[in-house]
């Protein structure tokens, strides 16, 4: 189809060249005056009337434009049989003998809530990930870690300790964050194959075998919740009227916690300082 379109494009140029040649010939014959008077396209431009020739060309272009607009306004898109079948399938109704009937093969329109329900991560939390190797301090790996606690990364903050990475994240339930989360990082690849001097096939590498396992390195990561911003509704049941907040009052609360490196039991400061 592309070759045919390119050929038609060149054919249009060729026909236009022939048409322009015919037009020049007609102008020569039609405008040649009597008694040797030159025509519009004379060799001497001062004696010819090239302006009239261009006016005729502009008039032809205007007629062509009017013809195109008329054809464009009359044009109507013809729907194929497949389009009609799809329109009935979208409605979930198939017309049989003039009576509506549910179609068994009708495909319902896709909706973002067709297989789920709306939810939200409403707690903006400051976390410190202790024990995650520095080589894994990238957004992709940290997002995988936060996915294990039903969260999503906002930003990775500058670290002051090579063992502790502070991050901000959206969490669904900060109270459900475990104290220790095991993170599996793919093991580094093995070194390239080197031939053995006693091997007969020293110049060709052995045929690769199908892998039977995927090696990983597991890191126990301590997850310290340092700060939680809560914008949820207050538990106002049973409160006196004078203690209830106003409708336009900002109910944002910030909960700050002190955490220590290597400590997950809350027994107090450790020997490595704050986490």
Along the 275 residues of the chain, how does pLDDT read in single tens digits?
A: 788 989 999 999 999 999 989 998 998 888 887 777 788 888 888 888 888 989 999 999 999 999 999 999 988 877 666 555 555 544 444 444 555 554 545 565 656 556 667 788 888 899 888 888 887 888 888 888 888 888 999 999 988 877 888 999 998 888 888 888 887 777 777 666 666 555 555 555 666 666 677 788 888 888 888 888 877 665 555 666 666 666 666 667 778 877 767 666 655 565 556 65
Distance CA 132, CA 73 (A): 67
Structure tokens at 110: 């896709």
CA 245 to chain centre: 42
188, exposed or middle or buried, with CB in 10 Å at 0-12, 13-18, 19+? exposed
> How many CB atoms lie under 10 A from the CB of residue 129?
26
* Host H or E run for residue 49: none
CA angle 266, 229, 270 (to 5 degrees): 20
Distance CA 48, CA 37 (A): 9
Please name the residue that has the structure tokens 């068994």.
Answer: 104
* Host H or E run for residue 8: helix 2-31
Q: Which residues pair with 101 in a beta bridge?
A: 94
Q: Which residues pair with 230 in a beta bridge?
A: 253
Please name the residue that has the structure tokens 């190797």.
Answer: 133
Q: Is the pTM of this model over 0.85?
A: no
pLDDT for position 95: 45
Please name the residue that has the structure tokens 């991560």.
Answer: 121
């Amino acid at each position: 189809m592309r070759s045919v379109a390119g050929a038609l494009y060149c054919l249009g140029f060729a026909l236009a060249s022939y048409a322009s040649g015919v037009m020049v010939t007609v102008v020569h014959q039609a405008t040649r005056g009597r008694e040797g008077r030159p025509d519009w396209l004379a060799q001497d431009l001062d004696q010819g009337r090239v302006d009239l020739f261009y006016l005729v060309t502009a008039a032809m272009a205007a007629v062509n434009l009017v013809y195109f607009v008329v054809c464009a306004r009359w044009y109507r898109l013809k729907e194929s049989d497949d389009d009609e079948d799809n329109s009935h399938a979208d409605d979930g109704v198939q017309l049989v003998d003039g009576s509506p009937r549910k179609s068994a093969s009708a495909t319902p329109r896709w909706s973002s809530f067709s297989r789920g329900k709306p939810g939200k991560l409403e707690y903006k939390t400051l976390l410190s990930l202790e024990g995650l190797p520095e080589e894994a301090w990238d957004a992709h790996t940290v997002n995988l870690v936060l996915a294990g606690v039903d969260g999503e990364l906002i930003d990775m903050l500058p670290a002051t300790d090579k063992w502790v990475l502070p991050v901000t994240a959206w969490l669904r339930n900060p109270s459900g964050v475990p104290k220790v989360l095991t993170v599996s990082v793919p093991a580094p690849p093995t070194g390239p194959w080197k031939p053995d001097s006693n091997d007969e096939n020293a110049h060709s590498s052995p045929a690769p075998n199908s892998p039977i396992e995927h090696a990983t390195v597991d890191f126990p990561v301590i997850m310290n919740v340092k700060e939680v911003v809560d914008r949820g509704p207050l538990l106002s049941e049973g409160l006196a009227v004078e203690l209830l907040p106003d409708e336009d009052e900002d109910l944002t609360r910030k909960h700050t916690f002190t955490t220590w490196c290597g400590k997950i039991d809350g027994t107090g400061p450790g020997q490595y300082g704050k986490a």
